[in-house]
């Protein structure tokens, strides 16, 4: 009868069934056989005594040097210059292309080629003006929309 009550309690979850939950014993290794995964660096030099007059400086960048971003403003003269511009994108640099110096068909070829490379590198492209385009690598996000009125204002100031 007590076997029935025990099984009923196990069914309700009040107690555990010790026969099913027995785990095989794990042999413990002596600590001599255990090899550490990471080696600790042993300091050979004793730390220098600090004086109260020297300030404590803490780097917030996590020990990494700051990465300097660059944007290259380029005016291609022909389609032959385009391979060099794609190399800039591959090295994670942003480009602004001014296509004033080339004819319309050549400008279209340049934009098509660089926009294809930008897409392949998962970068971003934005038309900034009639003949001005911005191409950025995937690490740079272009936000916001520039309105046509803004470009009209720039053109009127330049004349």
**Do 74 and 87 touch, CB atoms closer than 8 A?**
no
36-64, pLDDT tens digit by residue? 666 666 555 655 655 555 555 555 555 55
User: Whole-prediction pTM value?
Assistant: 0.50
Task: Kindly calculate the radius of gyration of the chain based on its CA atoms and give it in whole angstroms.
Answer: 34
pLDDT band at 9 (very low <50, low <70, confident <90, very high): confident
- In our burial notation (b when 16+ CB lie closer than 10 A, e otherwise), range 72-105 reads eeeebeeeeebeebbebbeebbbbbbebeebeee
Span of 110-119, 128-137, 138-147 with lowest mean pLDDT:
138-147
The pLDDT value recorded for residue 113 is 93
pLDDT band per the 50, 70, 90 thresholds, residue 143: confident
Q: What average pLDDT score do residues 130-136 get?
A: 89
Q: Would you state the pLDDT for residue 20? A: 52
What percentage of the chain carries pLDDT values higher than 90?
12
Region 9-13 average pLDDT: 77
Task: Give the pLDDT score at 117.
Answer: 92
Nearest to 122 by CA among 106, 107, 140: 140
- Residue 38 confidence (pLDDT): 64
Average pLDDT, the chain: 74
Q: In this structure, which topology does domain 71-158 adopt according to CATH?
A: Translation Initiation Factor IF3 (3.30.110)
Domain boundaries, the chain: 71-158
Strand pairing category for 94-98 and 132-136:
antiparallel
Q: What percent of the chain has pLDDT over 70?
A: 57
pLDDT at 155: 63
């Amino acid at each position: 009868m007590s076997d029935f009550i025990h099984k009923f309690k196990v069914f309700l979850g009040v107690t555990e069934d010790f026969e099913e939950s027995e785990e095989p014993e794990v042999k413990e290794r002596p600590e001599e056989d255990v090899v550490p995964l990471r080696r600790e660096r042993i300091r050979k030099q004793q730390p220098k005594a600090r004086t109260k007059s020297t300030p404590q400086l803490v780097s917030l960048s996590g020990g990494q040097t700051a990465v300097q971003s660059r944007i290259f403003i380029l005016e291609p003269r022909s389609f032959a210059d385009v391979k060099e511009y794609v190399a800039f994108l591959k090295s994670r640099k942003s480009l602004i292309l001014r296509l004033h110096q080339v004819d319309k068909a050549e400008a279209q070829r340049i934009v098509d080629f660089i926009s294809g490379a930008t897409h392949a590198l998962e970068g971003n492209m934005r038309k900034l003006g009639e003949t001005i385009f911005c191409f950025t690598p995937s690490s740079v996000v272009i936000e916001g929309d520039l309105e046509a009125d803004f470009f009209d204002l720039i053109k009127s100031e330049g004349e």
